[in-house]
Amino acid sequence: MKTLSGLLTINKPEGMTSRQTVTRVSNALRQAGFGRQIRVGHCGTLDPLATGVVVICVGRSTRLVQLIQERPKTYTGTFQLGCVTSTDDCTGEILSESAVDLKTISRQAIVDLLPDFTGDIQQVPPKFSAVHVNGQRAYKLARQGREVELSARPVQIHRLELTNFELPEFELQIECGSGTYIRSLGRDIGERLGCGATMKTLSRSAIGEFALDEAVAPHEVTPESIESLIKPPIKAVAHLPSVEITEQQKMLVYDGRPIEVGTVEELSGSSQIDEDESARLVLIDANHQLVAVSSYRIDQGSAKPDMVFHDPPRD
């Protein structure tokens, strides 16, 4: 049976779920002869309202999902002042509305607030979200009319910029870490301004190295095009330090055995080293193909494979 491993960047349109993008890719792979057993998964859910980058992992590359989800994400969101909804976006029930004018809200008033929402902050997720509450998704409980109390949790906002302001709307460009809810960000800014706010539109332009300008529309994913659209899995770890290993070392890695790689200058004294004095290190072959993601021990100069991405040659 044919097999395939790699990554695909989709430009998700409004109205489509992230799961539907996965289904489209799965169907194209099946029709192209890859069978029903090939694994397909996405990295970071986008609500149906939102548009933009969804990264799809295929085959063995599905093990890279977590690494991709950890990468910074870039969004552009628009928010309507003076409106509060049950979902914190325009798809929800309107809970309150109020008039907003320049006498009470100005561009500078928003700009002055942004530093308070930048860096390491505490954020309460929307009640209509996929956060687990006592083993159930919060949105399922909210749809049942049950009261949902969610605790604040730490998120990282790397960059926050006001890019447009025309009452009653404002636009933000956001670069943030995993787990950040842009809806909550707009809601909380609206609360601080004293008038409330709800998200109207959202577009994700990048997840790490995966950008909108390289994304394909769902209708472009066909049985005829699918193989040419899949990018090598090494793209998912382009941000990590790497070393080239020999063919002999590659055979050891295939057996799950640690190998000696010596000193990796990029990691010497690096903040990437954790309390166990280990860090992620990518192992590549002479053709610059991804062999494994490993745990590098700086004190030993050794790399232990955690995820292997190429099968050894068969006799």
Active site residues: 47
Q: How far is CA 68 from the centre of its chain?
A: 6
Q: How far is CA 148 from the centre of its chain?
A: 25
Q: Which helix (H) or strand (E) holds 85?
A: strand 83-85
Instruction: Find, among 191, 205, 218, the residue nearest to 72 by Cα.
Output: 205
Report the SS3 class of residue 309: coil
Measured distance CA(295)–CA(14) in Å, rounded: 39
Measured distance CA(239)–CA(6) in Å, rounded: 17
Burial pattern 51-60, b for ≥16 Cβ within 10 A else e, equals bbbbbbbbbb
Instruction: Find, among 231, 216, 226, 220, the residue nearest to 29 by Cα.
Output: 226
Report the SS3 class of residue 252: helix
Burial class (CB in 10 A: 0-12, 13-18, 19+), 48: middle
Burial pattern 134-146, b for ≥16 Cβ within 10 A else e, equals eeeebbebbeeee
User: What are the CA-CA distances from residue 79 to residues 152, 296, 301 (Å)?
Assistant: 21, 44, 50
